[in-house]
Amino acid sequence: MQKSVFADGDATLYRMCARRIVEAIEEGRFEPGLVLLEGRLSAIFETSRATIRKALNDVADRGLIRRFEGRGYVVGNDTTDPIRRSIEVGEIAIETGPAARPAADFIITEVEAALMTAVAFGHYRINERTLADVFGVSRPVAREVLWRLRETGLVEKELHSPWLAGPVTARAVMDDRELRMLMEPHALKLSAPILDRAELQRMRERVSTARSMSGKVPRAEIEAIENDLHIVCIRHYSNDRVKRVMRTGRLPMIVDALFAQFIGVYPDDPAFAEHAIVLDQLLAAEFDAAAASHSAHLRQESQRTLDRLKVLSVLPEPDLAPYLERIV
């Protein structure tokens, strides 16, 4: 079966489907009178019928297709007799290759953000069917998103259990922090010699910019700074099994990001100075010292993260995504 792929940046699947249908009509691949059926198009795009229904309605609003007495839509607005034939995959320009992206890629960031917000406030069951309906994708696509998030430690699932997320507890945060304290400094030491100096300088400038801001530092900037040190700087470490384990220890970074969103982090936060020390040592090729400073940063950040979790725990629960069901 063909893999669903879209090369455009628009994350609304029905709009992408509508655009491909419009292109097929305008380029003559869909002739006047051709009957377009939801079932066949949903199979080609590997998305839900609801998504295709919205896409066809959108194309109809443009006057390119019309309803008729039978099922589906007819291409064109003249009196041409309906043409019923099977539409082939090649008649719709679904791009492939390095620039193409699976349908799951277009929704995973939004799902991840919703779950990251929720887990700090409770324990939730994820309704796979509702998730698919909300985004207008098939259940296999929704399931792929959840499996990918499971690999990051954000979602849990055993063989016969439902999809679960949260809660973030102090014990879980400390466990993840301990995991990173044991692994990250070593990974940094081995990855650091391969890092590009210009890239390190950009990371250092990002920290300097944050420390010079007035008021709260935007969450996006904080996440970028954290990603620089805890993800990018260790990416050249060659032990893929250890890297997979480290990817699951994200709870401290999630807590810190949520604190930045709901409370705020200011330029004088000690973490920025600690990041600056590590990056300065990397720029000076003092890799042993950088690893030691990184280890110290993780220890010092542990208590700050726990304090932030306590603050978040007393905040009212925000509006949650409709596919999340609180577990009492």
Domain segments of the chain as ranges: 5-101, 103-167+316-326, 170-313
Query: What is the pLDDT, as a whole number, of residue 94?
Result: 59
How high is the pLDDT of residue 289?
98
CB neighbour list of residue 11: distance below 8 Å, 6 or more residues apart? 106, 107, 110
d(CA 49, CA 36): 12
Query: Do 100 and 5 touch, CB atoms closer than 8 A?
Result: yes
Region of residue 6 (phi > 0: left; psi between -120 and 50: alpha; otherwise: beta): beta
pLDDT tens digits along 183-198: 999 999 999 999 999 9
Q: What confidence tens digit (pLDDT) does each residue in 24-50 have?
A: 898 888 998 899 998 889 888 877 788
**Cα of 59 vs its chain's centroid, Å:** 29
Strand (E) or helix (H) holding 102: strand 101-102
Helix 197-211 vs helix 219-230: angle between axes, to the nearest 10 degrees? 150
- Domain 170-313: give its CATH code: 1.20.120.530
* Tokens describing residue 90: 């090649």
How many DSSP H helices and E strands does the chain contain? 13, 8
Cα–Cα distance, 291 to 27 (Å, whole number): 58
Identify the segments of the chain with pLDDT beneath 50: 1-11, 96-100
pLDDT of residue 324: 96
In the block, tokens 């443009």 appear at: 62
Measured CA to CA, the distance from residue 285 to residue 231 in angstroms comes to 19
The whole-model pTM stands at 0.67
Q: Does the domain spanning 5-101 belong to CATH 3.90.25.10? A: no
Same fold, 5-101 and 103-167+316-326: yes
pLDDT digits (tens, 9 = 90+) for 59-102: 998 889 998 877 889 998 776 678 888 888 778 865 544 344 56
Q: State the pLDDT at residue 101.
A: 56
CATH of domain 103-167+316-326: 1.10.10.10
Which of 324, 305, 301, 263 minimizes the C-alpha distance to 171?
Answer: 305
Phi then psi dihedrals of residue 222, to 5 deg: -65, -45
81-86: long-range pairs with CB below 8 Å, 24+: 81/33, 82/33, 82/35, 83/31, 83/33, 83/34, 83/35, 84/35, 85/34, 86/40
